[in-house]
Amino acid sequence: MSLSFTEQEMLESEKVCLSFDFDITKDLAEKIGNHRIIFTGMGSSLIFPGKHAKNRAMKLGISNRVEAFFASDLFQYPDFSDTYVFLCSNSGKTKEVILLLDYIKSRGAKCVAITAVADSILAQRSDEKIILTCGFEKGVAATKSVVEQALVYDSLIQYLAKIQGNDIDFELLKSGLKETALAIKNNINLKVEDLLLKKLATSKNYYVVGLDNGMAEEITLKSYEIARKIALFYPDTHIVHGVEEAIEEGCAIIFRPSNFKDYISDFEKFSAKTNCRLIGVDNHDLIPGVKIEVNGTFVDYCLLAAGWGILRNIGNKLNLDIDHPEKASKVGNPFEG
């Protein structure tokens, strides 16, 4: 069976990892110094790249104030002085991002474009730009671009940490990313066991549980785009705090048990009360589900790819044309003007 464009682009994430140059943000990190950083965009250009980078910054303890907001959320704030705003749009023409660019420049922001289109409106109007090497995707669901966007932000946070005195070994990071590339490929190519795949294909809703770092939330968005399923993201253990009255029975609760070892019994009770099946996606067998590969430093990239792999299985099981949805478009809300 021939691969869809979306599946091909998922698998091209391996090449993105293998060819990624951490030095792409080295000079920019020097310019930023201790200034505030805001990552922004819409949809997949914000959820995993921006929120994962914010999470990484907190783990490394850098002194910069780091935030991640949807572009449409930032118009409520009046002051962007002393701030580097990273505006991410693979096409370079997302309406909210372009309108925000004009808004924040007039309020003191330094604007950095992250885009795959070098001559796009976004790239032309920004103070700085980083051009992605992955190119513009044919599939509606963003995949390889999400990985490269996240790596750009990851490299920036790592360089800021190094400048601020952290012991960051970039050769070790490069080695780890090579291992991650293989894990990403294997996770995208994973095969879901027949009975479990049938359960996933027939479930009306998915409840995706994960840490508030963008990974599980991004898989939730991809559930709409690839499997055409209603999905809800619940951060951390929020799902066991009062939502059971409204959850339909027979749905799937998808999570990584390793992240919630102290709460597995709470998830099991919740599953029994709601008659929803727990599905573990993990490199351990704490909860039955799908076995995957992970790499420590870049574990969330591996989990992201595993989510794609599962959704790819579901889309093919349902005989969906995931490249050509009836309603969604590649650039959800393009700027015209």
Same fold, 5-185 and 187-317: yes
CATH of the domain spanning 187-317: 3.40.50.10490
pLDDT digits (tens), the chain, 337 positions: 699 999 999 999 999 999 999 999 999 999 999 999 999 999 999 999 999 999 999 999 999 999 999 999 999 999 999 999 999 999 999 999 999 999 999 999 999 999 999 999 999 999 999 999 998 899 989 999 999 999 999 999 999 999 999 999 999 999 999 999 999 999 999 999 999 999 999 999 999 999 999 999 999 999 999 999 999 999 999 999 989 999 999 999 999 999 999 999 999 999 999 999 999 999 999 999 999 999 999 999 999 999 999 999 999 999 999 998 777 665 666 766 6
Residue 88: closest CA among 97, 99, 76: 97
Domain limits, the chain: 5-185, 187-317
**Protein fold of 5-185:** Rossmann fold (3.40.50)
Angstrom distance (rounded) from CA 142 to CA 47: 11
DSSP 3-state percent helix, strand, coil across the chain (nearest 5)? 50, 15, 35
| Ramachandran category for residue 43: left, alpha or beta (phi over 0 → left; psi -120 to 50 → alpha) | left
Rounded to the nearest angstrom, the gap between the alpha carbon of residue 224 and the centroid of all alpha carbons in its chain is: 14
| Ramachandran category for residue 96: left, alpha or beta (phi over 0 → left; psi -120 to 50 → alpha) | alpha
H helix or E strand, kind and range, residue 56: helix 47-60
